[in-house]
Amino acid sequence: MTPLVLVLTYLVILNVLTLGLFWWDKRCAIERRWRMPESTLLTLCLIGGSLGAKTGQGIFRHKTRKEPFRTSLNAIAVLHIGFLAALVLPEFRASVTLLVHQVTDLVLG
């Protein structure tokens, strides 16, 4: 499997999981049961699940008015969009690739 396929598989699985957890948390809120901690939801967003989180927020109308959760989620989504947009630029992609190789060489020796 190529690195691109691995990354895309990771992102798809993580975003589906995040979307599912937004649905589950919304159901728990309606039924007044134990809920998922906001820190867990935001962590999933930060490690790549922001698309699933924003989709879940819109579809299930969940945590749309809850501050500072809403602002934090939007900031993470903007960060991810900016990072993906920057990866499209060849100069930025080359410098990120160089940095990854340098860090890998440093860590792995």
Answer for the pair 48, 80: CB distance below 8 angstroms, yes or no.
yes
**Could you tell me the residue ranges of all domains in the chain?**
3-108
How many other CB atoms sit within 10 Å of the CB of residue 35? 14
How many other CB atoms sit within 10 Å of the CB of residue 64? 11
Helix (H, G, I), strand (E, B) or coil at 86: helix
pLDDT digits (tens, 9 = 90+) for 30-54: 999 999 999 999 999 999 999 999 9
pTM across the whole model: 0.77
Q: Per-residue confidence at 28, pLDDT binned at 50, 70, 90?
A: very high
Q: Residue 67 has what DSSP assignment?
A: T
Nearest to 25 by CA among 50, 61, 51, 1: 61
